[in-house]
Amino acid sequence: MDRPPLTFRRRQRLTHDREFQRVYAQGVRRHRGPITVVGVVNSLGYARLGLAVGRRVGGAAVRNAVKRRLREAFRLSQHTLLPPGAGLDLVVSVRPGRVESVGDYASMLGACVGAIERELRRMPPPAP
């Protein structure tokens, strides 16, 4: 069985404010531990990740450590989070708390994304 590469490319990132605003306005929210995940369907066929880690989480070193761990958790689990060909835009917000390990973030992210994906499947498709 061929495994897809475990990479995290630039095209898999939410980079513009308008992308974040669309996710916040139209998305479904789920919380687990110190993270909140907001997700909305995209038409790209793959998941994209945006991170929102505010100053309340800690200094720059702490915030960067949290973001590195979240990106790594997404990178390692992106192919198991969603069915093949499913596209979601995800924004992960972090509340203050202790910095979790990559495995902890991966399990929290997986639980939230699974719940979001089930909820989005139940919703009717948007009108054109």
Whole-model pTM: value is 0.85
pLDDT tens, residue by residue, 75-104: 888 777 776 667 889 999 999 987 788 888
5 Cβ neighbours under 8 A, 6+ residues apart: none
Write down the H helix ranges in the chain: 17-26, 60-81, 102-122
CATH for 12-118 is: 3.30.230.10
Give the start-to-end residue ranges of the domains of the chain: 12-118
| Beta carbons of 58 and 96 less than 8 angstroms apart | yes
Rounded to 5 degrees, φ, ψ at 124 are: -70, 150
Residue 31 has a pLDDT of 92
C-alpha to C-alpha distance for 43 and 51, rounded to whole angstroms: 20
